[in-house]
Structure 1
Amino acid sequence: MTAATIILLIIIGLSAGILSGLVGVGGGIIMVPMFVIFLGLTQHNAQGMSLAVMLPPVTFLAVYNYHKAGEVDWKLALIASALFIIGGFIGSKLALKIDQLVLKKIFGFMMLIVAIKLIFFSK
């Protein structure tokens, strides 16, 4: 691993972590494009890396801060979590069968829809 790669990983990790904790977005929406653009990873590889990177910090530190502030409805979180596990398994199986370019376009389209909704239709 080169020094440039290490520096890019530091920038990507810190940026994604700060933005994830700040605005509550999954780090994937930040990390996946950065992994693809700056590290040259494939879409599949970037998505797998993003999921692997997010597991410990999101599970422990960020959730702890929101829980401490009384901002976690544990009943809803447990239900959504169980469904997320099932959906994540199914989604990852599907993603690995989809062509890289198609997957990139799907990812970009989802980011665009979310951005439009947040910018123009938020209360």
Structure 2
Amino acid sequence: MAARGLRVMRANMRIRRGAGNGWGGAGAAGALAWRRSRRIVSLRSAVMGMLLVFLLIGLAAGVLSGLFGIGGGILIVPALMLVARMQPLQATGTSLGALLLPVGALGAYEYYRNGNVNVAASLTIAVGLLVGAYFGAHWAQTLSPVQMKRAFAVFLVAVAIRMWLSAK
């Protein structure tokens, strides 16, 4: 009789605990709903964190693009690979997708407003970019992630050496 009373008391405690957690369920059902909600909150926090990382990468690339005319390959791609842990092809594609409108529209407009855009040169370069980006993207699909990382590192070092040597 005492053992049965103890079991009933334990069952009542579990029901109260489940019902009192704010999820309206009793016992295990309420606890399961609570654990699911914690996972959703955790996932939401992770997504918001990544959105913040992407926003900060974009802001940094925008400032550097406005200052030096760089952004995509020099900043966004390495940041996506190192901070967001993207594979090189995904980082490159994401960078190209991000650069379609904002860099061309707002950055160029500010320089144009101040008389610092050679329109003929810009349009000619744009044609080259259009064709070159297509073939570059096609070629990139044939490289492994390791080959992409190494090729990009060689490119950055070559640009850095050239800039260093030409500075006066």
Normalising by the smaller structure, the TM-score range is over 0.9
Provide the identity percentage.
31
- Calculate the TM-score normalised by the size of structure 1: 0.93
Specify every segment of 5 or more residues in structure 2 that has no aligned partner in the other structure, as ranges.
1-45
Give distance in 2, aligned partners of 1:52 and 1:26.
Answer: 13
Runs of 4+ in structure 1 displaced over 6 angstroms? none
- Calculate the TM-score normalised by the size of structure 2: 0.69
Q: Counterpart in 2 of 1:97?
A: 142
Give distance in 2, aligned partners of 1:34 and 1:102.
Answer: 18
Give distance in 1, aligned partners of 2:87 and 2:58.
Answer: 18
Q: Secondary structure at the match of 2:53?
A: helix
- RMSD of aligned Cα (Å): 1.3
Specify every segment of 5 or more residues in structure 1 that has no aligned partner in the other structure, as ranges.
none
Q: Counterpart in 1 of 2:78?
A: 33
2:118 is the counterpart of 1:62: no
Give distance in 1, aligned partners of 2:59 and 2:103.
Answer: 13
Counting matched residue pairs gives 123
Give distance in 1, aligned partners of 2:104 and 2:125.
Answer: 14
Higher relative contact order by CA 8 Å / sep ≥ 6: 1 or 2?
A: 1
- State the Cα distance separating 1:45 from its structure 2 match: 0.1
CA contact (8 A) 1:32 1:43 kept: yes
The structure having more radius of gyration, on CA atoms, is 2
